Amino acid sequence: MVHHISRSLPPNKNQEPILKFLPSVYSVGIVRETIGSFLSLLFIASLIIGIGAPYFVGIFPPNVVTWVEQNRTMIIAAGFVANLICGSILQSGAFEMFMDDTLIFSKLQQNKMLSAVDLAEIVIQALVHAPE
């Protein structure tokens, strides 16, 4: 996620906020997006099949419907596990902060996440040392 900080000190006549955070999303790649989409569809399908098994008597063979009714909990649980894996696959963890289009912090470059206090100190230092 990228955060662009626009500053106006003191606030301008339009009373815009001093700091603006504009988030954007980094792509995790086509392979991870495809796997995530498949796992998301698997989650939805497992819920539909697990919950709606009694209604599929005429659609699926009787032995399949019986098996689904006997293993309903396992099917729904597998769907939730697929959803958890999907969430972790699609999360990039990228984080950058810009002030007036100048990079002031990048988790991608430093390969670590700072505490909120350290991030606030970086923003304050950037505001203090920024040209008017």
What is the reported pTM?
0.62
Spatial distance between the Cα atoms of 43 and 77, rounded to a whole number of angstroms? 9
Question: pLDDT by residue (tens digit) across 22-73?
Answer: 667 777 889 999 999 999 999 999 999 999 888 888 888 889 889 999 999 9
Peptide bond into 10 cis (omega under 30): yes
pLDDT: which is higher, 59 or 127: 59
How many CB atoms lie under 10 A from the CB of residue 72? 16
